[in-house]
Amino acid sequence: MVLKIFFPKCCNTADSGLLVGRWIPGQDSAVVLAVIHYPFIPGQVKKYLSQMRSQSQVDLTVLGSWSMPKDGQEGMESFLKDLSTIFPHARWLQLGRESGKRAFTCRVVQKNGKPPADQEGDEKDKIIFIHYDQRKVMLSQLHPVQEKGTEEESTELRMVFHTVAQSEPLFFLDMYDQGPLKLTHWQSEGREASIIVELVKQASFPVCVILTWLVSLWQWLGSFRMLHVWPVQFISSKLSTCVQTGYRTEHFQTVFSTKKATTHMEFMRKANMFVSFLVDIALGLLLISWLYRENRISQLANTLVPVADHVAKELQELLEWLMGVPAGLKMNRALDQVLGRFFLYHIHLWISYIRLMSPFIEMILWYVGLSACLGLTFALSVLSDIVALLTFHIYCFYVYGARLYYLKIYGLSSLWRLFRGKKWNVLRQRVDSCSYDLDQLFIGTLLFTILLFLLPTTALYYLVFTLLRLVVVMFQGLIHLSVDFINSFPLFVMGLRLCRPYRVAEGVKFRVLSEEPGTPLHLMMEINPLKFSSVLQCYRTPTYSCYPRDSWVALCKKLFVGELIYPWRHKSTKTD
C-alpha cells in the first residue's frame, strides 16, 4: 500500500504545528494545504475549520502534526503525539524534519491505536512525498476541462488540483494577522494584490451595465419590421459586412453581460473575445492612419476607374477572340455570333455604369475607409463586398453560361436515352426501356443531333466564364479566411500559454528529489503545459466560418454538369 502525501513547497521550512488538508476519497493519498502554528486553541481550530468547510465546500480536516524542531524546542515530540487524541481522525500523520537534512520522517498511526508502522517492517506502508508549488497548482486548470458535478469520476490528479483551487478562502489568513490562528501557506507573507486590478474590478460593473444597455438599444433598432422585408433580408445575408456586424453584436452581448463568468471556459471565452476585439480595433486604426495620410484615398479613387475600364476592355477582347477561332477550335458560327454579341452588349452597359459613377467614387471611398475604425475585420468585409459589386457582371455571365450549359447537358442526356430506346423511371429511379411513338422518335433525334453539334460552342463559353468566376471567388475566399482567422484566434489564451504556462495544464511530470533507502521517496511535481495546437483547438471561438461546401470530387462533378456553384458555405454562429 502506497501512501501519497502532497506537500506544498512553501511549508518545507514552516515551524512546527498542525497539518491541515484533505484526504482524497477513494485513493490512498492526502493533500496538505497549510500548517497551523503554536500557540493555538483546539476549539478555535475546529471552529475555523468548520467555517472554512462551509465557505469552500472542501472537506478540510486536520491531517496530522508537523514537527521541525528549532533550537530550544525539545520535548515537542510527545506533545505532538498527544494531539492526535484531540482531533478526530481515521489516520494520523506525524511528519517531521530535522534542520539540515533534506528528507522527512513520517509515521502513520491508525485510529484504533495500532502501533505506528515501522520503516523496516515486513508490512511497511510505503510513503511518497510529492512536493508541489501551491500557487501554480491553485491557478492552473487541467485539460480537457470537465464540467462541474462530475467530481466523483475524476482521477486523483484532478481531485488534487480541484482541492487546492477550491481552498482559496483558506489562504486569506496569513502569519501576520492579529487573529487567534497563524497559518503558513503560499500567501503567508501577505496577500498579494495589485491596485490596478482592484480598480478595474470595481469599475467594470457600471461600465458593463452601460454597454449592455447600448447593445440592447442597437438590437432593438435592428429588429424593426422594415428591415425584415424579404429583399432587404436577402441582400443583408449576402453582404459579408452585415454578417460580420451581426456576429460582433453577439460577441458584445456575451462580453459585456453583467453576469460573472462561472466556469473556466466561459471566462476564457469572454477574455478571448474582448482581447481579439481590442486587437481588431487597434489594427483598424493603424490601417486608417496609413490610408488617410498623403492623400492616398484620392490616389486610390483615381486608379479605380481606369482599372475597371481596363478589366472591361480585356473582357471585350476575350469575347472577340471567342467569336473568332479560339485555340484552333471550330465553333458553330451562328451560335457563336449570337452569344458573343449578347455578352458584348452587357459589357457595354457595364462600362457606361462605371463612367456614370466615377465622380462620386472618391467621396464614397473616403466614408467607407472611415468604417475601418470599427476594426480590421470590418474593413476587410467591406473590401470583399466592394469586390463582389465590381465583378457583378462576371457573376451574371457565369450564371447565363452555366444555365445554358446545364440545359444543354440535361437535354442531351435525356435525348440520348431516347436514342437508345430507354427512359428514366422516376418511381424506381432507374433507366427502363420504353416504346416511343414515331413522331416522338423523329423529333427527339433531330433535337439530339442539334444539341450534340452545338455542344462545343456552349461548353467553351461556359468554361471561360466559370474560370473567371472561380478567380473572383478565390479572392473573396481569401479575404473571408483572414477575417475568420482574426475572429476566432484565441489571443488571450495564447498569451497565457506563453507567459504563464502553468495556467493551462495538460498533466504533470515528476522529478526525483531524494531517493535514499530507509527514507521515504521525495518527488517534485511540475506542471506540463498544454501544447499550442491543443490550445488552439480547445479555445477557438466558434465563428460563422466559411469552409468549402463540397469536396473536390463533388465540386468537379458539379462543374462538369453545369450546376451553379456556391463554393463557400457560411455556417451560422453556434451557441454553446
Residue ranges binding another protein (CB under 8 A) = 330-334, 418-421, 435-436, 438-439, 441-446, 448-450, 453-454
Least distance CB 449 / another protein (angstroms): 5
- Cβ proximity to another protein: between 456 and 501 the closer is 456
Angle at 184 between CA 178 and CA 185, to 5 degrees: 120
The residue behind cell 482592484 is 198
Least distance CB 438 / another protein (angstroms): 6
- Cβ proximity to another protein: between 48 and 448 the closer is 448
- Cβ proximity to another protein: between 129 and 448 the closer is 448
- Surface-to-core class of residue 465, CB atoms within 10 Å of its CB (0-12 exposed, 13-18 middle, 19+ buried): buried
Show the cell assigned to 536: 488552439
- Distance from C-alpha of 238 to C-alpha of 247, rounded to nearest angstrom: 14
Least distance CB 313 / another protein (angstroms): 28
Least distance CB 421 / another protein (angstroms): 3
Element (H, E) at 512: strand 504-514
Helix (H, G, I), strand (E, B) or coil at 257: coil
Per the CB < 8 A criterion, the answer to whether 300 and 365 are in contact is yes
Element (H, E) at 265: helix 264-291
Q: Which of 342, 455, 448 is nearest to 393 (CA)?
A: 342
Helix (H, G, I), strand (E, B) or coil at 366: helix
Least distance CB 439 / another protein (angstroms): 5
- Cβ proximity to another protein: between 440 and 572 the closer is 440
- Cβ proximity to another protein: between 264 and 423 the closer is 423
Cis peptide before 116 (omega within 30 of 0): no
Least distance CB 338 / another protein (angstroms): 12
DSSP code per residue over 462-491: HHHHHHHHHHHHHHHHHHHHHHHHHHH--H
Residues 326/328/329/331 CA torsion (nearest 10 deg): 60
Backbone angles phi, psi at 201, to 5 degrees: -65, -40
- Cβ proximity to another protein: between 91 and 423 the closer is 423
For 40, how many CA atoms within 13 A lie in the half-sphere containing its CB?
A: 23
Tell whether the torsion through CA atoms of 458, 464, 470 and 476 is positive or negative.
Answer: negative
- Cβ proximity to another protein: between 166 and 414 the closer is 414
DSSP state of 149: T
Least distance CB 458 / another protein (angstroms): 14
- Cβ proximity to another protein: between 116 and 411 the closer is 411
Angle at 393 between CA 389 and CA 399, to 5 degrees: 110
Cis peptide before 39 (omega within 30 of 0): yes
Least distance CB 325 / another protein (angstroms): 9
- Give residues with Cβ within 8 angstroms of 264, minimum separation 6: 141, 145
- Cβ proximity to another protein: between 218 and 419 the closer is 419
- Cβ proximity to another protein: between 152 and 439 the closer is 439
Least distance CB 340 / another protein (angstroms): 16
Buried b / exposed e along 67-97 (16+ C-beta atoms within 10 A): bbbeeeeeebeeebbebbeebebebbbbbbb
- Cβ proximity to another protein: between 443 and 498 the closer is 443
Least distance CB 224 / another protein (angstroms): 55
- Cβ proximity to another protein: between 323 and 530 the closer is 323
- Cβ proximity to another protein: between 81 and 423 the closer is 423
- Cβ proximity to another protein: between 375 and 444 the closer is 444
β-pairing, 91-97 vs 104-110, is antiparallel
Least distance CB 322 / another protein (angstroms): 14
Least distance CB 555 / another protein (angstroms): 31
Least distance CB 574 / another protein (angstroms): 55
Least distance CB 460 / another protein (angstroms): 12
Contacts made by residues 443-448, CB under 8 angstroms, sequence distance 24+: 444/415, 444/418, 444/419, 445/415, 445/418, 445/419, 447/411, 447/415, 448/412, 448/415, 448/416, 448/418, 448/419
Amino acid at 417: R
